[in-house]
């Protein structure tokens, strides 16, 4: 695998500053489209995702707007509800989606990656002149960030292509709603 090409140190500083600017982001709500590809099958359609520090709510939609599935994560585990109203539960999203949808949703690191920042695990990164990630290799994933969009004071990804041996995920974020108030009381009041 490629080592990080030599970059002027200042650039590293710019990258560090960009990541620091994302530090305050603990919760978000996004709407967009998702493309899922495994060796055998694929899906493409709409998706919404509400992320809070302790919970995640993901919904998948067909092109006709009908809901195909919901994936809800809380400290106790993850629940998947499918369009034929089957409810399935597991300890984590990875095993749950693999058993029922045939592909592993990497929920663990996904919210950091969606924001354009690595998790704490070892990783390799390439960034652009504004310090924004353009390529991130971490936890067996090779993630490309091809477009960013300005959301308030933040630069957040618009188009993300995540590749792993088993699964490719393409995300297009049509709309970000950012909730970066630090005091958790504000978060609690969220419905």
Residues in contact with other proteins by the rule CB under 8 A: 33-35, 37, 40-44, 46, 59, 61-68, 70, 81, 83-85, 159, 168, 170, 172, 174
Please tell me the number of Cα atoms within 13 Å of 20 on its side-chain side. Answer: 6
Taking the complex as a whole, how short is the minimal distance between the CB of residue 83 and other proteins, in angstroms?
A: 4
| Closer residue to other proteins in complex, CB, 43/128 | 43
Taking the complex as a whole, how short is the minimal distance between the CB of residue 174 and other proteins, in angstroms?
A: 7
| Closer residue to other proteins in complex, CB, 65/76 | 65
| Closer residue to other proteins in complex, CB, 177/181 | 177
Q: Residue 151's Cα: distance from chain center in Å?
A: 16
| Closer residue to other proteins in complex, CB, 47/113 | 47
**What's the rounded Cα separation, in Å, for the pair 44 and 61?**
9
Taking the complex as a whole, how short is the minimal distance between the CB of residue 99 and other proteins, in angstroms?
A: 17
DSSP structural state of residue 153: T
**What's the rounded Cα separation, in Å, for the pair 185 and 191?**
12
State the angle between helix axes of 107-115 and 93-101 in degrees (0 to 180), rounded to the nearest 10.
100
Closest CA to 105 of 29, 171, 46, 172: 171
Taking the complex as a whole, how short is the minimal distance between the CB of residue 84 and other proteins, in angstroms?
A: 4
| Matching residue, tokens 């088993």 | 166
| Closer residue to other proteins in complex, CB, 84/183 | 84
- Is-contact 120 128, C-beta < 8 A? no
Taking the complex as a whole, how short is the minimal distance between the CB of residue 159 and other proteins, in angstroms?
A: 8
Taking the complex as a whole, how short is the minimal distance between the CB of residue 113 and other proteins, in angstroms?
A: 17
The residue count of the chain comes to 191
Closest CA to 33 of 178, 171, 176, 175: 171
| Closer residue to other proteins in complex, CB, 86/150 | 86
């Amino acid at each position: 695998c490629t080592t990080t090409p030599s970059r002027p140190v200042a650039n590293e500083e710019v990258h560090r500053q960009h990541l620091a600017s994302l530090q305050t982001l603990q919760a978000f709500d996004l709407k967009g489209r998702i493309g899922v590809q495994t060796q055998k099958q694929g899906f493409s359609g709409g998706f919404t995702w509400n992320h809070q520090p302790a919970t995640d709510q993901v919904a998948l939609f067909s092109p006709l707007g009908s809901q195909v599935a919901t994936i809800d994560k809380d400290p106790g585990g993850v629940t998947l509800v499918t369009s034929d109203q089957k409810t399935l539960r597991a300890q984590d999203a990875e095993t749950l989606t693999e058993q029922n949808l045939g592909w592993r949703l990497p929920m663990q690191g996904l919210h950091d990656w969606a924001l354009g920042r690595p998790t704490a695990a070892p990783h390799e990164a390439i960034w652009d002149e504004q310090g924004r990630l353009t390529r991130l290799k971490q936890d067996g994933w090779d993630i490309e960030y091809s477009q960013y969009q300005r959301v308030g004071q933040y630069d957040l990804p618009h188009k993300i292509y995540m590749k792993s041996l088993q699964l490719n995920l393409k995300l297009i974020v049509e709309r970000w709603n950012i909730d970066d108030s630090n005091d958790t009381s504000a978060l609690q009041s969220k419905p």
